Amino acid sequence: MKTRITELLGIETPIIQGGMAWVAESHLAAAVSAAGGFGIIGSATAPAEVVAKMIKEIKETTDKPFGINIMLMSPYAAEVAALAAEEKVAAVTTGAGNPSQYMKMWKDANVKVMPVVASVAMAKLLERAGADAIIAEGMESGGHIGSTTTMALLPQVVDAVSVPVIGAGGIGDGRGVAAAFMLGAEAVQMGTRFLVATEAITHENYKNKVIAAKDIDSEVTGLSTGHPVRLLRNKMTREYLRLEKEGASFEELEQMTVGSLRNAVVDGDVITGSVMAGQIAGMIKKKQTCKEIIDELMAETTTILSSAPDLLK
Ligand code: TUI
């Protein structure tokens, strides 16, 4: 498939891996890029030196293009943003905020900029600021989310901007990829499907919890504090939601989750840790390599798109 996004990034398949905190390190990103997609290092709250090491590792593994996700709430966002420009990575994606202040630095270094947005207003603002593409992420996603679904958000963002749009949130297989294309997307970004990839360093307990999840097994915490986060239900989410209902303060709630994502991803604590995952977790049944995932997605997508005219018969 050839779209403005595959051309912009120099990739073979329009599949971008989400920049998942703690999960999206060099092994996963390299495997996705090597398989023809676009791998992304999720810098999350890591300092620049840690991200620099991951960039070095990925460059030693593959010559294919890859990107860096910058989580704008990180205390290290500015130094990682500068590192992305110095290293001239193919593209940066940003999340959880407005990256306008870094835009000139990235453009000057010829780094493509693809901010994640959860609203039309932010998409328009960032197109004006120079974004090369927009990632429209619906609330079906895992982690930090907005409040609109992919089905509703994606076509509205496509109508509002002229740069190419990438659909994200709730896409788990080729049916979801084809649907995103029908809504006007020129690529998709997927996180949850890659959480369980063979190459992902995600702890086996975490992978097994995603595989065991059913359709209704995610919860959204933090709605009362303005920081909504989607995770799979466990002891931590039950306790968090109970405290939230009782009117606990932001600080008290924050205290509960400090280090909890690392505890789940790295140490496998899926009981009191944060098991971030999207609503399509219920569709994920097995662990596969990134190449198997990408090949399967593209085979399903092309079958669906080429049989679409049958619907008119
Ligand atoms: O960023 C994400 N997903 C994430 S970041 C993350 S790390 C984290 N860890 C613990 C607690 C909270 C976060 C886990 N998952 N997705 C991209 C995304 N960006 N979704 C929504 C947005 C967004 C929201 C508001 C983008 C821009 C925005 O603008 C608000 C403003 O006016 O600045």
Alpha helices in 10-73 (DSSP H): 26-34, 48-61
CA distance 185 to 301: 13
pLDDT of residue 81: 98
> Which of 104, 74, 109, 75 shows the shortest CA–CA distance to 91?
109
Per residue in 106-156, pLDDT (tens digit) is: 999 999 999 999 999 999 999 999 999 999 999 999 999 999 999 999 999
Regarding the beta carbon of 23 and ligand 1, being less than 6 Å apart is answered no
Mean pLDDT score, 3-8:
98
For residues 276 and 231, the answer to whether their CB atoms sit within 8 Å is: yes
pLDDT of residue 296: 98
Residue 245 has pLDDT above 90, yes or no: yes
Residue 309 has pLDDT above 90, yes or no: no
Per residue in 48-88, pLDDT (tens digit) is: 999 999 999 999 999 999 999 999 999 999 999 999 999 99
Regarding the beta carbon of 71 and ligand 1, being less than 6 Å apart is answered yes
> DSSP E strands: which ranges in 191-313?
218-221, 229-232
Kindly report the average pLDDT of the chain as a whole number: 97
Regarding the beta carbon of 41 and ligand 1, being less than 6 Å apart is answered no
Residue with CA nearest ligand 1 atom 13: 144
Q: At 69, phi and psi to the nearest 5? A: -95, 130
Per residue in 181-230, pLDDT (tens digit) is: 999 999 999 999 999 999 999 999 999 999 999 999 999 999 999 999 99
